[in-house]
A and B are shown apart, each in its own frame.
Chain A
């Protein structure tokens, strides 16, 4: 049985004193990290917001001009943004959905296996240890017409995987899945380990089938772990850059939102529109995180290792 931890009683005078000291201590301990965060995160963020209000080219300083929210209107009404948005959405939905199912399967294997446990765990985790750019090259070379072996293996002849949108996206999503399923299964394994064995036993004694135990006992007790895994992976997939950059350079409508931001900011040095794209990308990330936290009704701050 889970041990129910009693919430601390409403503070009495002496506890308040102690609590206050602890809180002050906590603030002092976290202050340096907070200051660093403000410098490395808040400052660029605010600067990006300011830049996004200008029509500004790095190489045309004299042409800098305040346009208010004009860049946002331009970006949001441009087909390029929406094509990239839909590409990013497709990649995210497909890769995360497949990864969740596969990740569960791997997590169960890693959890239940008795012999050769460390070998299996290592084998499953290998792809995650490979740098994304390197894995992108591996997949590109595998599917490319001149150097690839995939066509030969599957008898596909001269089929050009990077010649159109859907087959390019297929390869990109496949490599994403290959690369990050280990990550999601690792998080799920951590959740699985936390499901109390007593609960499983009690359910078994009560006559619950394996499916019922999974649905009623395992999954509900893993909610926080699932959410963390999904949230991390969704945000990761949403910011995908390396794979399309290496495999297609954004051709055939495989450009993602991060790629668009990169192109505007770095290639075209169009800092105004580029910053607007970056800020919008940031907002979509916030919205995704918000949806996940609300949707799962899990308060992460309450998730502790006391069970």
Chain B
């Protein structure tokens, strides 16, 4: 009997567990344990159990930013070189980068997520811009929104979603938030750089502009979605779930069908016109607990769950984008996701959040110093972040 700790979903992972157990011909049975809703609470529970060497954790669904921390602590069982090929073959570049720690494959990309730029077709038409044109930047978007008296939905509440945005801007500008990550707490903050300044200029500039939604400093995914679907909505950066959610809102009577018909999508906007954007990356990796007493069966389960057919099945069933590129060619997937090609390209080119065992500290340092967005200034804010982050990593400041 294997225990698989999953993040809550619509039951799709549970169904995969059943079908994999059935396909194993008695090789293993799977008991699915659901972790808390919130990603940081999922991490807390897993860390607590793994620190106590809990052997009941055979397989776990892990948020990519936590992979480095868990692997560094010795909580994850690295995959053999022989198995590695099965877990990496055909996997898009974005999720692949989050599966390694110190050149060892410690996790298997299962599904991946990314953000797109969502726009109202009527607004971009009136503004005379084309978000699908190569070279469409944040500045173009802010100018277009201002011109049409519309707002841009972003996630700028003091939480992980804000870090997702800041990181996407910094890496899209060709920089990184923190470098030399393998040095652990001696990693060097790189955010005080031209890329960090560019990100600060966009965030502070948008927050102080007419294109900022009134509740921008408290906005998460859902708040930006409802702003975007409202009368003032023009643009939004958000995960692909917003499209099916909008369709559900029509069924529920919340919005008119014309709103959904007016929604268009494009790749995440650029920071500089000459450099392709690196969209945010989310998703779930599967890892095998280091204290499991059934490593072979656990690896077999991971292999089954992350296989291409199951990637496709899960994408259609749960609505979460696959980690393997070939899944997007499947007719069922293309039908459910009319924007499948943009999602695949975005996931492939996505820029992951910093891969460091101190991710929590890095992310919280950024969130604390960049909030509220209206007070973000270049170069003051990135500079402050770099000092604060370095002090926090070195244990000279409390978070």
Contact = CB atoms under 8 A, between A and B. Distances in A.
Contact of A59 (B40, B357, B397, B398): B357
Given A58-B47, A59-B73, A74-B397, A267 B184 contact: no
Interface in A248-281: 260, 263-264, 266-270, 272-273
Given A60-B72, A60-B73, A61-B74, A269 B47 contact: yes
A60 B185 contact: yes
Given A60-B184, A60-B357, A67 B74 contact: no
Contacts of B51: 58, 269
Given A70-B395, A74-B396, A267 B40 contact: yes
B222 interface: no
A63 interface: yes
Nearest to B185: A63
B58 interface: no
Contact of A60 (B40, B358, B396): B358
A194 interface: no
Contact of B70 (A59, A67, A78): A59
Interface string A23-62: 0000000000000000000000000000000010111111
A60 B75 CA distance: 11
A218 to B, nearest CB: 47
B104 to A, nearest CB: 15
A159 to B, nearest CB: 16
A21 B44 CA distance: 53
B361 interface: yes
Nearest to B360: A268
Contact of A266 (B48, B185, B358, B398): B48
Contact of B398 (A57, A61, A67, A273): A273
A249 to B, nearest CB: 11
Contacts of B40: 267
Interface residues of B, number: 22
Contacts of A217: none
Contacts of A268: 360-361, 399
A264 B398 CA distance: 8
Nearest to A63: B184
Given A60-B184, A61-B73, A272 B48 contact: no
Contacts of A74: 395-398
Interface in B43-71: 44, 47-48, 51, 69-70
Nearest to A67: B395
Interface string A126-142: 00000000000000000
B152 to A, nearest CB: 24
Nearest to B364: A268
**Most A C-beta atoms less than 10 A away, residue of B74, B358, B395, B396:** B395
A71 interface: yes
Interface in B308-357: 357
Contact of B72 (A59, A70, A81): A59
Given A60-B357, A266-B44, A78 B74 contact: no
B395 A272 contact: yes
A80 interface: yes
B69 A59 contact: yes
Interface extent on A, as a size class? Answer: 20 to 34
Nearest to A56: B395
A27 B154 CA distance: 68
Contacts of B360: 267-268
A255 to B, nearest CB: 11
Contacts of A150: none
Contacts of B395: 55, 67, 70-71, 74, 270, 272-273
Nearest to B71: A59
Contacts of B398: 74-75, 78, 80-81, 260, 264, 273
A55 B395 CA distance: 7
Nearest to A74: B396
B219 to A, nearest CB: 15
**Most A C-beta atoms less than 10 A away, residue of B44, B396, B398:** B398
Interface in B355-399: 357-358, 360-361, 395-399
A239 to B, nearest CB: 19
**Most A C-beta atoms less than 10 A away, residue of B40, B185, B399:** B399
A67 B75 CA distance: 26
Contacts of B357: 57, 59-60
A70 B395 CA distance: 9
A75 B48 CA distance: 24
Given A67-B395, A70-B395, A58 B73 contact: yes
B49 to A, nearest CB: 12
Contacts of B358: 57, 60
A270 B75 CA distance: 17
Interface string A70-105: 110011001011000000000000000000000000
**Most B C-beta atoms less than 10 A away, residue of A264, A272, A273:** A273
Contacts of A80: 397-399
Interface of B: 40, 44, 47-48, 51, 69-70, 72-75, 184-185, 357-358, 360-361, 395-399
Given A74-B396, A268-B399, 20 more contacts: A55-B395, A57-B358, A59-B47, A59-B75, A60-B72, A60-B184, A60-B185, A61-B73, A61-B74, A63-B184, A63-B185, A67-B395, A70-B395, A74-B398, A78-B398, A80-B397, A260-B398, A264-B398, A267-B44, A270-B395
Closest 10 A/B residue pairs (Cβ): A59-B73, A80-B398, A78-B398, A55-B395, A59-B69, A63-B184, A60-B184, A58-B51, A60-B357, A63-B185
12 contacts: A58-B51, A59-B47, A59-B357, A60-B357, A63-B184, A74-B396, A74-B397, A80-B398, A81-B398, A266-B44, A267-B44, A268-B360
Interface of A: 55, 57-63, 67, 70-71, 74-75, 78, 80-81, 260, 263-264, 266-270, 272-273
